[in-house]
Amino acid sequence: MIERMTLVLDAFDGASARLTLQDIVERSGLPRSTVHRILDSLVRLRWLDHRGGDYGLGMRALELGGLAVAHNSLREATAPLLHDLHVRTGVTVHLSVLDRLDVVCLDKLSARSGMALPTRVGGRTPAHATASGKAILAWTDPRQVDAIFRGKLVSRTPRTLPTMEALEQELAKVRARGGLAYDREESSPGVACVAAPLRGSARAVAAVSLTGEASRMDLNRLSPFVAETARQASAALFPQDLATRRRKARQDVPQPASWPPGALDRLVEGIGGDYWL
């Protein structure tokens, strides 16, 4: 069984980020029914990710070796923007996604100086204790949030949100700020962070953040940089949603009313008739 699973995983080479069931059958040389059964197991165990009609390397592969990072379209689409954010601020940049109770770091650009942060690509942190996690959870269906945590929040520091009620209140604040979320020593002592979600018209798919030493992080100053990067990344990832929002915004702008027939002539006559309007 292990040999056959290895044949399936080996189908995902450096040139192929995502494969269909038929692709994997042809590359592995295994019967279609066997491949289908193995794929179901690998998806359940998070070795593979199944979206639509194709498969790609999943979170467990990312955690153990960073293999999924090279194939990750999200990371590829945001890489230039993350680099620009890093250059402009000089602060450590993270790109993270939600996976059940945790956020998983997809990319990290470390600051040139300052304290060493307890984060790494593929690393996990409880979502409720991080700015990135809260930025994503704020745009997640509340029923799904309840199902994820089941009323239990793990404490990382004395400042970690202690209850579901506290988390719900915090997520409401995040939404009121347009998505900006903060972590003030909630995930690690001495560490602060500001994050914003990457989203289209629906839920957030990821978050970008700036993280550093709490005593040196001016979160209010850094917030606009994060918000702008998240906005640009969202536009790159969801161009159709951006076009829809712009079209709606134009429709919502009040248009000047036209003059009823003869009204302008009557107005001119009423003020003397010879004035330039």
Per residue in 198-216, pLDDT tens? 998 778 999 999 999 999 9
Domains: count for the chain:
2
Q: Residue 47 sits in which domain range?
A: 2-65
144 in any annotated domain? yes
On whether residue 52 sits in a domain, the answer given is yes
Per-residue model confidence (pLDDT) at position 261: 66
**Which region holds residue 97: left if phi is over 0, alpha if psi is between -120 and 50, else beta?**
beta
Residues 6-40 pLDDT 10s: 888 888 865 567 899 999 999 999 999 999 999 99
d(C-alpha 167, C-alpha 160), whole Å: 10
- 55 and 123, same domain (yes or no): no
Give domain status of residue 188, yes or no.
yes
Let me know if residue 115 belongs to a domain. Answer: yes
pLDDT band at 99 (very low <50, low <70, confident <90, very high): confident
Question: How far from chain centre, in Å, is Cα 4?
Answer: 34
Asked whether residue 138 falls in the same domain as residue 81, the answer is yes
**Domain assignment present for 35:** yes
In a domain, residue 266? The reply is no
Average pLDDT (55-61) is 81
> Which pLDDT value is given to residue 200?
82
